[in-house]
Amino acid sequence: MKKVEAIIKPFRVDDVRAALLEVGITGMTLSEVKGFGRQKGHTELYRGAEYTVDFLPKAKLEIIIGDEQVDTCIETIQKSAHTGKIGDGKIFVTSVERVIRIRTGEEGNEAI
């Protein structure tokens, strides 16, 4: 099993979610996060004063899937989150040792 974490632009969440549902990936967790990468924030003007916004709003999707779905999941996120502009995000894939469904006690792929 793998955990796929995708940090994407917030306005792309609905498109990514819909695309993942189309390929059969149904379970995911969404968190609103803030961060920056190469774009290093930006400058804004508020009531005549200029200030720097270091951390930009992002959305973090966390998905636990079987090994056989990883490539499909990554390709789907890449296609649906892509805008071609800086700050499109990143995808991280890590191994998951164990998954347990609390309600039934099921483990492994049955618990996903």
For 15, 17, 18, 51, the CA distances from 76, given in Å and listed in that order, are 10, 10, 10, 37
For residues 49 and 79, give the distance between their C-alpha atoms in angstroms, rounded to a whole number.
38
Domain that holds residue 103: 2-111
The whole-model pTM stands at: 0.85
How many independent structural domains does the chain possess?
1
**Domain CATH for 44:** 3.30.70.120
112 residues of the chain, pLDDT tens digit each = 999 999 999 999 999 999 999 999 989 999 999 887 776 666 666 677 766 767 788 999 999 999 999 999 999 999 999 999 888 999 999 999 999 999 999 999 899 8
